[in-house]
A and B are shown apart, each in its own frame.
With several copies, the nearest count.
Chain A
Amino acid sequence: MSEDPPHLRLVDDFEDPPRTPLEDDDMLHVDVAGFEGPLDLLLALARRNQVDLMKIQILPLAEQYLAFIKRAKDLRIELAADFLVMAAWLAFLKSRLLAPDENDGGADGEELAEDLAFRLRRLEAMREAADALFARPRLGLHLFARGAPEVPIIHEEKSYKGSLYELLSAYGTVRQVELARDTKMEKRPVFSLVDARRVMERIVGGHAEWLPLEALIAAMPSHESRRAVIASTFGAALEMAREGKISVRQSAPFAPLYLRSNGMDGAETNKDG
């Protein structure tokens, strides 16, 4: 089970289904079609009972949601998967709130409940913001601009620009045709994988600590193309990781890569990210 509320997926309908008013205490109107996903339904349940969303009590809310879903099931109303996933998640949350597990630091029920309460408050706030925005005087509906604007007449004066370099290189291009030209093929800068590997084995092998890839690149013999060095060092690192000789670690996408020798017990290959 994830520690976040389940990712909610329900493509909202463009036709704006009417929100089901939740006025009856016994929730006779069990109709999830009107809700834009479980968060919307939860918000409606929360609002039904409490005006002050700052003090949402998640436990009773979770119970109401579960009761709502159960009733929908009893009435054999087909529920979208999201609603069921949310029900399962709330059941999990409920158990965490009622019986906190001291040994499991990963999923504190209070924190999860506060997270959910925050999401509900934020959704409510954005809905109110949308209403406030659309209650503003709007151009073309309430306020009107000059109907017959007078467009300034613009006199455009052309000014040309050129540099001496452009002039001379243009002249060079023209006259070059008359000159015999020696053509040299440029040598593509290559830094071989074998070279990179040799250096890496020496440096990583002699170190017990995590080493940033950057440090290895800096330690490579000087070379005209830094890109070639990076590519070959990275390639050699992947190869050595595959062989179980080193471990590669990265904490987040685009974060620096770290390498460490696996030493003698070269069996463990730990590569994530």
Chain B
Amino acid sequence: MAEPVTLFGGGPGQSEALRRLEAVLFASAGPLTEEALAARLPEEDNLSHRLRQLQTIYANRGINLVEVADGWAFRTAGDLAYLMTAERVAERRLSRAAMETLAIIAYHQPVTRAEIEEVRGVAVGKGTLDILLETGWVRLRGRRRLPGRPVTFGTTAAFLDAFSLAAITDLPGLDDLKGAGLLEGTPPAGFSVPIPRDDDALDADEDPLDADDGDDAPAL
């Protein structure tokens, strides 16, 4: 590591000259050419030498004095550049539409976009499915053996994690939903809440995904 550097060792004049130079360079919004520095520090008679001196003083420090294309400037030492980056986790909540779509996927999987729309009664925006795929909670499972071979969606292990479910079958059934007041009234004949499953085995009418069904650009 760096040798101990004795700073501002010379006479008072030298100290003052270095103080002035470092203050001006520090406060400047951009690099300063030697001409600009000379204009700011008219008493300085040996600017080039002084700049080299200051550069040596700062050589092993957290900030270095560097000569860039348009002059001199202080910059963070190259090996400390990593300090100038920060990782941040931004927590987001799903929109109402996305949450409804996710719930339908969870209960009705494997399910196609058209089937989701049938349950919701409204169209599902492409953005909603993109966001759900981005959460990592929803995945493409396969393709339904139907005209157009639509993609089927299902949930992932990360989904179970995020919603504190031990298994997808822990999702409450019709009676539980009614008991919790989440569904009210008398279900009509034929109304059912499916028992969900999220395993990898494909349904009888599901084909595997095609080789080119990349995660990046799924043909929804």
Given A123-B120, A154-B86: A167 and B99 within 8 A (CB)?
Answer: yes
Decide: A162 and B93 in contact? CB cutoff 8 A.
yes
Contact with A147, one of B26, B93, B107, B134 (Cβ below 8 angstroms): B26
Q: Mark A138-178, 1 if CB is under 8 A from B, else 0.
A: 11111111111111111111111111101111111111111
Residues of A within 8 A of B186 (CB): 4, 115, 118-119, 179-180
Residues of B within 8 A of A148 (CB): 28-30, 73-74
Residues of B within 8 A of A11 (CB): 122-123, 125-126
Given A143-B75, A145-B27: A159 and B127 within 8 A (CB)?
Answer: no
Q: In the complex, what's the smallest C-beta–C-beta distance from A8 to chain B, in angstroms?
A: 5
Decide: B103 and A170 in contact? CB cutoff 8 A.
yes
Given A119-B186, A134-B99, A170-B103: A140 and B121 within 8 A (CB)?
Answer: no
Q: Does A31 contact B (CB under 8 A)?
A: no
Interface locus among B7-15, B49-57, B159-167, B210-218: B159-167
Q: Does A109 contact B (CB under 8 A)?
A: no
Contact with A119, one of B74, B95, B121, B162 (Cβ below 8 angstroms): B121
Decide: B97 and A149 in contact? CB cutoff 8 A.
no
Q: In the complex, what's the smallest C-beta–C-beta distance from A140 to chain B, in angstroms?
A: 4
Decide: A168 and B164 in contact? CB cutoff 8 A.
no
Q: Does A187 contact B (CB under 8 A)?
A: no
CB-CB nearest in chain A for B76: A144
Residues of A within 8 A of B188 (CB): 178-180
Specify the main secondary structure of chain B where it touches its partner: mixed
Q: In the complex, what's the smallest C-beta–C-beta distance from B176 to chain A, in angstroms?
A: 8
Interface locus among A35-43, A92-100, A189-197: A35-43
Residues of B within 8 A of A153 (CB): 84-86
Q: Does A126 contact B (CB under 8 A)?
A: yes
Q: In the complex, what's the smallest C-beta–C-beta distance from B90 to chain A, in angstroms?
A: 5
Contact with A175, one of B73, B127, B165, B183 (Cβ below 8 angstroms): B183
Q: Does A133 contact B (CB under 8 A)?
A: yes
Q: Does B187 contact A (CB under 8 A)?
A: yes
Q: Does A121 contact B (CB under 8 A)?
A: yes
Decide: A144 and B84 in contact? CB cutoff 8 A.
yes
Which of A146, A156, A163 has the most chain B CB within a 10 Å cutoff?
A146
11 cross-chain CB contacts under 8 A: A9-B122, A12-B122, A12-B125, A13-B97, A14-B95, A16-B95, A138-B164, A156-B89, A160-B135, A175-B193, A181-B185
Question: Which residues of A are in contact with B by a Cβ distance under 8 Å?
Answer: 4, 8-16, 36-40, 111, 114-115, 118-119, 121-123, 125-130, 132-134, 136-164, 166-182, 253-254
